[in-house]
Amino acid sequence: MRILLLAFLSIISTTITISAQGDYDFPDGLYGSFEDLKRNRAMSAMPFESRLIYNKSGISRYSITKEASYRKIRGVYCYVIDNHIYLNCGEYGKKGYFVRSHFSGRYIYFDDIIGRENFAFAHTGVTAAAVPSKVWGVVLDMRTGKTIKLSNRKVKKLLKDYPKLLRKYENSDKKNSEVKALIKELNDQF
């Protein structure tokens, strides 16, 4: 009986944690790791400024500097301003900038332009200007801390336990806007 009670309490506490993760309220500040973000432990109150460094094709990239300075702050996993997470792109690609979240839930969603020059073409001698880039959806899984670039295979893997959403994806044009809408629907399942 005691084991059953402990198992029941464990399931309830897991359920509470999972459902509470949909109601994010992150304090503004700098976060050094995923664990810090998950536990709402911002770094010391270091004053910083977020600067827009790129804005094209609906994609915005940011950098952070010390307040009233152009000196970049290093060693930051992400930062939060007005409950929007700005994720360090070094988590899934090139380093040097941050991207802003569109919405949160179990999967926090970001968009970025990721060129193929970051992958196989880097060693072929083809210039970056000749290689097409594409807008990709990227999600941060708030249970595991993994950052996932939403390729066709990875979207199918995320949706495998949700047959209606998977069928919807397979019947779509697989455009970034459709994937974004499906991730939003997936978050509603939690």
190: tokens are: 């939690």
- Interhelix angle 152-159/176-188, rounded to 10 degrees, is 20
CA dist 90 and 79 (Å) reads 14
CB of 99 closer than 8 Å to CB of 152: no
Angle (CA) 86 97 79, round 5°: 25
Give the pLDDT of residue 92.
87
Least-confidence region, from 2-6, 137-141, 158-162, 176-180: 2-6
Counting residues of the chain whose pLDDT is more than 70, the rounded percentage is 78
132 pLDDT band (50/70/90 cuts)? Answer: low
Mean of pLDDT values over 23-47: 88
84 pLDDT band (50/70/90 cuts)? Answer: very high
**Domain membership of residue 41 as a residue range:** 25-149
pLDDT in tens, 138-157: 999 999 999 999 999 999 99
23 pLDDT band (50/70/90 cuts)? Answer: low
104 and 71 housed in the same domain:
yes
Is there a domain that residue 9 lies in?
A: no
Is there a domain that residue 19 lies in?
A: no
Whole-model pTM?
Answer: 0.77
End-to-end CA distance of the chain: 30
128 and 142 housed in the same domain:
yes
Mean of pLDDT values over 8-25: 43
106 and 125 housed in the same domain:
yes
Contact residues for 35 (Cβ-Cβ < 8 A; gap 6+): 41, 145
Nearest to 138 by CA among 190, 172, 90: 90
Give the pLDDT of residue 116.
55
Q: How many domains is the chain partitioned into structurally?
A: 2
Give the pLDDT of residue 79.
95
3-class secondary structure per residue, 15-58 = HHHHHHCCCCCCCCEEECCHHHHHCCCCCCCCCEEEEEEEEECC
175 and 109 housed in the same domain:
no
Which of residues 152 and 116 earns the better pLDDT score? 152
51 and 68 housed in the same domain:
yes
